[in-house]
Amino acid sequence: MGRTKTIFSKRRYDMIYTLQNESLTVQICDLGAELRSAVCRADGTEYLWQRDPRFWGDTAPWLFPICSRFYGGKYTYEGNTYEMGCHGFARKLPYTVTEQSATTLTLQLSECEETLKSYPFAFLFTISYRLEGATLSCTATMKNKDGKVMPATFGAHPGFNVPMGGCGKFEDYYLDFGEGASPDEIILTDDCFDSGRRMAYPLREGRYLDLKRSLFAIDGHFFANVPEAVTLRSDSAPHAVTIRYPGSRYFGFWTESDPDADFLCLEPWNGLPSYANGEIEDLAEKNDMFRLQPGAEKSFVVAIDFQ
């Protein structure tokens, strides 16, 4: 395993950790425990979006303790009001590396003065990476270290280059949900809150979703009732990625509508934004949250097959 330093700000350095085997070279940053790069060793193809701030300044953030947003960016808990930004704070803070080898890396985040201002719980959030062949397995685990029930959820938000390796154009690519898929779209409002409505989403031949920029004129799309894997590919390109997310409740896909935004995010989530009712929510009652008892933990796995 290699490590290189890259300046992040005047206050700290990002630490970049490298995992490598015969198939892939993978880089992970301690800031947000974020996957930053996955390169095919055979031909040098970079699979992951490389953080162009003109369109989207991240690569593959982890979402915790919420997915998406609260109405008004606020919630209440035990009579107090707290502010929390979109997707929570786990993607913005440095993690501590607890285990590492040539093909594995484990990073942890726990409560601190900064997190307690927006989330009044003691927790441990762990991200573990394992590289085996052309597959990177990522396990996210949230643990309640507090003495009270902890409402929380988590999700993944990796962005992939489209086109891959410069092969073709965005509209040549499609998502393959597998034979017999019948997803229901979660209808979001224009400001990305849950309308409470669901609608069957038709797929080509019952499995394919063709990409086009007009799909993203407002924002992304989120599905319920989805298979546990989806493949991003083009029939004219040698590379593809399959993302597997067993047990996740929802799957979303998003990019910018700008034709120069050459990426697509594939997003397994376990939570949704607030309902579009104009009310500040009580965290104890928020929709789509796990409620962990003291000492309990919950994990989910995202595995990416780089083809």
**Across residues 250-273, what is the average pLDDT?**
91
Arithmetic mean of pLDDT over the chain:
91
Whether 239 has a pLDDT exceeding 50, the answer reads: yes
* Among 155, 144, 141, CA closest to 106: 141
Q: What sign does the dihedral 264-265-266-272 (CA atoms) show?
A: negative
* Cα(122)–Cα(103) distance, integer angstroms: 30
Pairing between β-strand 194-200 and β-strand 221-224 as defined by DSSP bridges: unpaired
What is the DSSP pairing of strand 221-224 with strand 34-40? unpaired
158 touches 34 (CB < 8 A): no
> Could you tell me the pLDDT band of residue 254, with boundaries at 50, 70 and 90?
very high
Does the structure show a pLDDT above 80 at 37? yes
In this predicted model, what pLDDT tens digit does every residue of 123-180 receive, in sequence order? 999 999 999 999 999 999 999 999 999 999 999 999 999 999 888 899 999 999 999 8
Which of the pair, 54 or 38, is modelled with greater confidence? 38
Residue 255 gets the label, from left (phi > 0), alpha (psi -120 to 50) or beta, of beta
The number of helices, as runs of H, and strands, as runs of E, in the chain is: 1, 26
Contact 153, 43 (CB under 8 A): no
Exposed / middle / buried, residue 75 (Cβ in 10 Å: 0-12, 13-18, 19+): buried
Task: Please name the amino acid found at residue 264.
Answer: L
Fold of 2-306: Beta-galactosidase; Chain A, domain 5 (2.70.98)
Q: Write down the pTM of the prediction.
A: 0.91
| Amino acid, res. 101 | S
Q: Is the dihedral of CA 25, 30, 33, 34 positive or negative?
A: negative
3-state helix, strand, coil in the chain (%, to 5): 5, 45, 45
